[in-house]
Amino acid sequence: MTPLDILQSLIPLISPLLIFAICLYYLIRIALPDAILLTIGSGIVLAIAVFFNYMPYYAQNNALTADRITFYYTLGGIVSLLGSLLFATGLFLTVHKMSRFLPKDHSNKS
């Protein structure tokens, strides 16, 4: 794998890494259950993104069978679903918490 291939393979990891960094900053600032769920969920999704990004290289270099590759991708999909559910729960809790600070009458009457 050339250095250019390595740089190109890192592009899909920018978004999950950025989301994880923001969630980690939120956790450091406010250590509440919603921040914990957001950080754990985004960390799992980041780890799975790295796994899905480098799994083809690993499978090719180790000559894995199709059954073994399918097993790894299925396991990665299940773990990714768990991480996404944790992140979504944390996001819901955050939005619910922030919505309490809105005024009671926030309709747009002209």
- Global pTM value: 0.80
Q: Residue 60: what pLDDT?
A: 79
> What value does the mean pLDDT take over residues 16-28?
93
- Distance between CA 7 and CA 53 in Å, rounded? 12
Matching residue, tokens 């250095």: 3
Q: What is the DSSP letter of 64?
A: -
pLDDT tens for 45-102 read 999 999 988 888 887 787 788 888 889 899 999 999 999 999 999 999 999 888 887 7
64 or 41, higher pLDDT: 41
